[in-house]
Chains A and B, each alone.
Chain A
Amino acid sequence: MTTSLTSTRHAVTDLAQAMELCFEKGWTDGLPVVPPTEAAVRDMLEAAELAPGEELAFITNRQVAVTAEKVAINAVMAGCRPAFMPVVVAAIEGIGDPRWAYHGPGTSTAGAAVLMIVNGPIARELDFNCGDNLFGPGWRANATVGRAVRLVMRNVIGSRPGTLDRGTLGHPGKLSYVIAENELDSPWTPLHVERGFRAEQSTVTVMAAEAPHQFYNQLSSTAAGLLTTCCDDMRISGNVVGQSQYALVLAGEHMRTISAEGWSKADVRSFVFEHTQNTVAHLKRTERLAGPVEAGDERARRPLVASPADILVVAAGGRAGAFSAYIPGWGSRKASEAVTTLIKDRRA
């Protein structure tokens, strides 16, 4: 495969003009980008051992092939280190997977972002944040990998706000929405192992997702107690009748309280599945389901998710503070499901 870069080249006089040109062309997310020079793009490709023309995803509805060259250009612009490129590539493969079904979450008025959860040794090697200020700024890996994916969505796939990205509200996770699981402190099976990978492999899980909803429980010292609070908050959240997937991010104090009683992630999932169900009567009274309340509706229950497996439990967040978060997925699991892809070390 050829190693020449085929992208159009734009001559600029200096760094400032290069950055302004990127704004003028509509190539940025509203923040300044790093100008993508050939040398920087080649470093990015080399780090992932990818030929420029290699196709990483094909978005059917748009008839767009997402090539390594374009991903590398956008990763440079996002501020990624070359070492991050394999993570960006895995995330792009994930959103290109038919199960993730790009067209819906990439376009929808419901305004999903791409939540990315990094697992395995690479999360620690590249310093992805899995602790304090989990969803906040301050970590280059978290901020730039997610930004690179969003720039690919914008510049390569054409998901621009107001045209092919019709999010009514969107949310700040559309700038970058990347976390890692705190595997070192977690007593539980890591997410990627639950999803069929080996612990020593590294993966990224992509999920079309709303913003994180933080919940408080500073009172209970039992697993059931604090998860009861969580479930009460979560029961009416997201697209309640759509049965999307959910991520449940359990931070330090809650993680320790729950695990101290011997609860596994599967136990958490079962509890949350059972305690987030609504009655059909309630969904009708609150205008989420159509029609008058009928006999049996007070007892008929509709689960928030189709099955306990649709709750992705992740151990992450600061060690201190009795807070955790749940994250509603977009739409419904039938329309888009979380996909976990291997971060390949092509140099091995």
Chain B
Amino acid sequence: MAGFEILDPTVEPRLQPLTYVARPESLKGRRIGLVENTKFNSDRLLRKIGDILVHEYGAAEARMWRKRNSSVPAHDEIIDEAKRGVDVVVAGIGD
């Protein structure tokens, strides 16, 4: 059998530009957003983290949003409200 060619079945994902906001040097007076993914205990874990950030690190406040389910990105309302109302976001998984 003579040589032949086969076609590559794979693809590379499209590249997306991704830029990070600079991390704040201090959390003093910062508003904290917590994104809860609906998994069991993830709300408790994040609430605890929020309390620590407020009481031990001087953050101004911590508020929480709940995703529609654990397998989807945060929905637009969360993103829009977070953009307007918080300085730092903590997202976590609860299992």
Contacts and interface: CB of A to CB of B under 8 A. Distances in A.
A12 B5 CA distance: 6
A77 B8 contact: no
Contacts of A192: none
Contact of B7 (A36, A107, A158, A334): A36
Interface residues of chain B: helix, strand, loop or mixed (majority): loop
Interface stretch (B23-31, B48-56, B64-72, B78-86): B64-72
Nearest to B16: A63
Nearest to B73: A61
Interface string B33-76: 00000001000000000000000000000000000111111000
Contacts of B13: 62-64, 158
B38 to A, nearest CB: 9
Contact of B72 (A7, A8, A103, A155): A103
Contacts of B8: 7-10, 73
A77 B9 contact: yes
A185 interface: no
Secondary structure type dominating chain A contacts: mixed
A8 B69 CA distance: 38
A13 interface: yes
A41 B71 CA distance: 34
Interface in B1-15: 1, 3-11, 13-14
A336 interface: yes
B7 A73 contact: yes
On chain B, which size bracket covers the interface? 20 to 34
A189 interface: no
Interface stretch (A14-22, A219-227, A316-324): A14-22
Contact of B1 (A8, A14, A158): A14
A336 B71 contact: yes
A13 to B, nearest CB: 5
A10 B9 contact: no
A7 B5 contact: no
A73 B9 CA distance: 6
B5 A38 contact: yes
A18 B4 CA distance: 9
A37 interface: yes
B89 to A, nearest CB: 19
B6 A36 contact: yes
A37 B1 contact: no
A70 B13 CA distance: 13
A51 interface: no
B6 A18 contact: yes
B5 A335 contact: no
Contact of A101 (B7, B11, B72): B72
Interface in A38-75: 38, 41, 61-65, 67, 69-70, 73-74
Given A108-B71, A332-B69, A334-B68, A37 B9 contact: no
A285 B30 CA distance: 43
A329 to B, nearest CB: 13
A155 B5 contact: no
B87 to A, nearest CB: 26
Interface string A301-335: 00000000000000000000000000000011011
Contacts of B7: 5, 7-10, 36-38, 41, 69, 73
10 contacts: A9-B6, A10-B6, A10-B7, A10-B8, A35-B4, A41-B7, A63-B13, A107-B71, A156-B11, A334-B69
Q: Which 5 A-B pairs have the closest CB atoms?
A: A104-B71, A8-B8, A155-B9, A7-B7, A63-B14
Given A36-B7, A108-B71, 10 more contacts: A9-B5, A10-B8, A13-B3, A35-B6, A38-B5, A101-B71, A104-B71, A104-B72, A155-B11, A334-B69
